[in-house]
């Protein structure tokens, strides 16, 4: 029984650490989304369920992204031309404007959008 309790405690602690790490990724992604010198996503997109001051309207309103696969969101940010040859959205990853860690953080934030 003691082994079970220790294992349960270890798994609980590791789960809390992972959850805290993911929460930080979401915060970092939100910062990238809203920061002009980083992603600046709000320049083109409004977001369903989020209060954003003066969102743009060049791109579609972002909604139900929590249902999108993470890889699809990553690919869309890295190089949207792969999925949609004619688009005004820049290739943030391919052009080197955002690195892998930043794109993953942005994806974590986008997955919070319903």
Q: Please, which residues bridge with residue 62 across strands?
A: 47
* pLDDT over 90, % of the chain: 45
Tell which wins on pLDDT, 43 or 17. 43
What total of structural domains would you count in the chain? Answer: 1
Q: What is the domain extent for residue 77? A: 2-110
Contact 74, 107 (CB under 8 A): yes
Q: Rounded distance, CA 28 to CA 110, Å?
A: 11
Which CATH number is 93's domain given? 1.10.760.10
pTM score: 0.77
pLDDT in tens, 52-81: 767 788 888 899 999 999 999 999 999 999
């Amino acid at each position: 029984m003691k082994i079970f309790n220790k294992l349960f405690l270890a798994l609980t602690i590791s789960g809390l650490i992972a959850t805290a790490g993911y929460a930080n990724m979401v915060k970092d992604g939100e910062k990238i989304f809203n920061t002009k010198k980083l992603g600046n996503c709000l320049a083109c997109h409004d977001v369903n369920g989020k209060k954003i001051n003066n969102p743009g309207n060049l791109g579609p309103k972002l909604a139900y992204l929590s249902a999108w696969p993470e890889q699809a969101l990553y690919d869309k940010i890295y190089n949207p031309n792969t999925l949609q040859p004619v688009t005004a959205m820049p290739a943030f990853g391919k052009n080197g404007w955002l690195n892998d860690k930043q794109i993953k953080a942005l994806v974590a934030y986008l997955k919070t959008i319903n």
